[in-house]
Structure 1
Amino acid sequence: MRRLLFSLLLLSGFAHAQLPETDWLSLMPKSDQKALEEMPEISHNTPEGDGTFTSKGGLKQEKGLPAVMYSTRTVAAMDNKNIRIGGYPVPLETDAKGRATLFFLVPYPGACIHVPPPPPNQMVLVRYPKGLKLNDIYNPLWVTGTLKVEKVSNDLADAAYALDASNVRAVTEADL
């Protein structure tokens, strides 16, 4: 009996253990990683770069960038994988209480106002029906759930992955 109780305690501890952090680069094939490293500097001298948006779709890619910036190539091993990833929200939809239920997660802050946005394989559409109050899009989040290789396109941006979130929370000082 004692062994059974000990085993149950151990298993319950593992069930609640935190998943290791998934690195954003693990969502990108090695060839894309190499292409990004070799890419020339991109100019931000545009009206959007200055915060003045002249057309709809502030996260859409401009023409003429290196091909890796448009890449929707994914890593098959990441499909249907339960992950925990940190990033910054770009809100898309909210519920009646103002909580974000659908948002893009991006690897760096300000991706919603800087040009160009991350490549589609570095953007994740997060579905979180429970919703989360976002006080500041510059505060990072931890998102846990099942990642899917799923191409998503809307007026704002394109993403190569989607994630059905089981938990979303703000990163705290204790996490650092």
Structure 2
Amino acid sequence: MRRFLLTFLLLGCGLVHAAELPETDWLDLMPKSDQKALEQMPEIDHDSPEANGTFTAKGGLKQSKGLPAVMYSSKTVHAMNGKNIRLGGYPVPLETDAKGRSTLFFLVPYPGACIHVPPPPPNQLVLVRYPKGLKLDDIYTPLWVMGTLKVETVSNDLADAAYALDASKVRVVVEADL
């Protein structure tokens, strides 16, 4: 019986996927008050004046007239601090090593975030530190990032983030994951 169960786990569920943490939803990083405010927010018109945003030398997009404050919220969920998670998203490369592997990148909930204005709120951006590095051929390739999440304010020229994650593992999402 024991041998049958082990064989089922290895073959039926897949060894790699069975050992991974359950997926953390991006909304888990946002307080309920922010979730409610986003649900009530009108659609953003990318042809409007605020679509151009107001950039500064540091910190990325700053609050523009006409956009709700929730679009700039850095309110966090403190229960997530120090939690080991698996989060799916898309990379926005920031730093690479000598071999061209991304060692520092933002993880964002949808493809093209930070390229199009406005970027996600800071509590929907995670700075990922991955010293092993990952070769990124396409920023539209979804990733699973696993590691310890920290409530940490990060500000750079591109955007602000309310979380950082020290990644223990990063891998491309495959069809079997879906």
Question: RMSD value over aligned CA atoms?
Answer: 2.4
Correspondence for 2:151: 149
- Structure 2 contact 56–62 (Cα < 8 Å) conserved: no
Tell me what 2:168 maps to.
166
Superposed displacement of residue 112, structure 1 = 2.5
Closer, same or farther: CA 169–110 of 1 in aligned 2, 3 Å: same
Q: Match for residue 30 of structure 2?
A: 28
Segments ≥4 residues shifted beyond 6 Å:
46-50, 54-58
Identity of aligned residues (%): 77
TM-score (ref. length: structure 2): 0.83
Q: Hey, what's the Cα distance between the residues in 1 that align with 2:94 and 2:48?
A: 24
Task: Give the corresponding residue for 1:77.
Answer: 79
Give structure 1 stretches of 5+ with no counterpart. 1-5, 7-12
1:1-150 equivalences in 2 (<5 Å): 17-45=19-47, 60-64=61-65, 65-150=67-152
User: Does the aligned pair in 1 maintain the 2:63–2:72 contact within 8 Å?
Assistant: no
Inter-CA distance 25–103: structure 2 relative to 1 (3 Å threshold): same
User: Do the aligned partners of residues 84 and 67 (structure 1) sit closer, same or farther apart at CA in structure 2, a change above 3 Å counting?
Assistant: same
TM-score (norm. length: structure 1) = 0.84
C-alpha displacement at 1:45, in angstroms?
A: 1.7
